[in-house]
Amino acid sequence: MSLLSWYVIVAKVLAQRRLTEQAKAAHTAFSGANSLRQGADSLAKDSPFRQIVDSSLASMGKHESLASQVDMNTWLSQDIVRNVGSLTVRSQDGLAVLATVGATAPFVGLFGTVWGIYNALVTIGVSGQASIDRVAGPVGEALIMTAIGLAVAVPAVLGYNWLVRRNKLALHTVKTFGSDLHTLLLVEVDKSLRNPAGKSHAG
């Protein structure tokens, strides 16, 4: 349980750090891009920010068949919320393991404590003596099991709380990006609607 919890902690820290770096790259890419397509193409293919933009641009192309049922604003908003929600679910992977370890490890240690005390009582019953040398071993084992249970649980609980906070900060960045993307998409849609009208008027 200890090895599993430490593996999850290290893996989540690396994943969160990578998401933060991808967020910075996305901000840099789109702040200097002439279009959303150009900004998306400048990002790594495995970047979740590129995947959100690609999905949104694809939704724009599909909207024509639904124009009479759903307006563009709602359609794009639903797509962005769906993709951000999927990323949020993936970011929670592994946290349940830490919560489970933090909740159960003390009880596993407590079970070892009870077992050690039981052995001490059996030793006293067999020997008929309650001397310290008869019970020191089993009682010592009981205390060690308690300490091991706490040593496993404490890092898991602290790691869980720390990672949850880091997750909230990272996901806030993702939600902010999604909100900004929604605005940029509507601006791009508005431009595409105005240009044909301008050309027609000029003609």
| Amino acid sitting at position 162 | W
Q: Which tokens hold the place of 121?
A: 């009582």
pLDDT (tens digit, 9 = 90+) per residue, 114-149? Answer: 887 877 777 777 766 666 766 677 777 778 888 888
Task: Report whether 59 contacts 74 (CB < 8 A).
Answer: no
* Per-residue pLDDT at 130: 62
pTM of the model: 0.75
Provide the CA 56 distance to its chain's centre, in angstroms: 22
Q: What is the mean pLDDT of residues 151-175?
A: 90
Residue 100, C-beta contacts closer than 8 angstroms, at least 6 positions apart: none
Confidence band for 198, pLDDT divided at 50, 70 and 90: very low
113 against 104, higher pLDDT:
104
Task: Please give the backbone phi and psi of residue 27, each rounded to the nearest 5 degrees, phi first.
Answer: -60, -45
110 against 190, higher pLDDT:
110
Q: Which tokens hold the place of 21?
A: 């770096």
Domain ranges of the chain: 2-194
Task: Please give the backbone phi and psi of residue 34, each rounded to the nearest 5 degrees, phi first.
Answer: -80, -20
Q: What is the mean pLDDT of residues 12-24?
A: 89
The residue with tokens 């099991």 is 145
